[in-house]
Amino acid sequence: MSDDETWDESTRPSLAEPADTAYSSAQEVFARHLVEIHDHLRTELTRLHGIVDDVRRGVLTAGGARSEVHAMSLRQNNWTLGAYCQSYCGFVNGHHSLEDASVFPHLRRAEPEVAPVLDRLSEEHVVIHHLLDEVDRTLVALVRNTDPAALDAVEKALTTLGQRLVSHLDYEERELRGPLARHGFY
């Protein structure tokens, strides 16, 4: 995988199922559930970018950012920007781990033709995990450093993560809609 911020679509396997393939409402429930989880990840990522931007523009103080983060949907005690990022990163890793350990093996057994797509999705999970680690490293550096460049590094890491993650989620939704409709999660 390249170090740029986008995935090369030409390297992604596709099941070539027409987007307008009809499934019953009961069959679509699994794909809809996946999209709902992914939409939550997208929303929280957008909000995280907004909080970092507000801190940069001086609209929020660290205490104000803490209050904003505290009001967000993923909560823990003693919130800080770093704790929110850590929680978000943990949620993404947990979601991917569940897919790799349970959903993907089920789909691979039920429909072996899906294997190249599942292999690619698993490879992308590894890349995203490394990007999440980079976000964590930049946040640690920000805490230790008052240099404005430290906030730049956080924003760059979040941007790279966001672009890769959203592209990955879109790809997964597009390619797994049919297999999930036919076979469910498990």
Whole-number Å distance between alpha carbons of 68 and 87: 15
Closest by CA to 62, choosing from 73, 75, 51, is 51
User: Mind listing the pLDDT tens digit of every residue in the chain (186 residues)?
Assistant: 344 567 899 999 999 887 788 999 999 999 999 999 999 889 888 888 887 788 778 786 545 554 565 455 444 433 345 555 666 667 777 777 788 788 899 999 999 999 999 999 999 988 988 888 887 777 777 666 666 787 788 889 889 989 999 999 999 999 999 999 999 887
pLDDT value of residue 25:
93
pLDDT value of residue 78:
33
pLDDT value of residue 79:
37
CA 67 to chain centre: 24
Whole-number Å distance between alpha carbons of 66 and 60: 9
pLDDT value of residue 77:
35
Q: Domains of the chain: which residue ranges?
A: 24-178
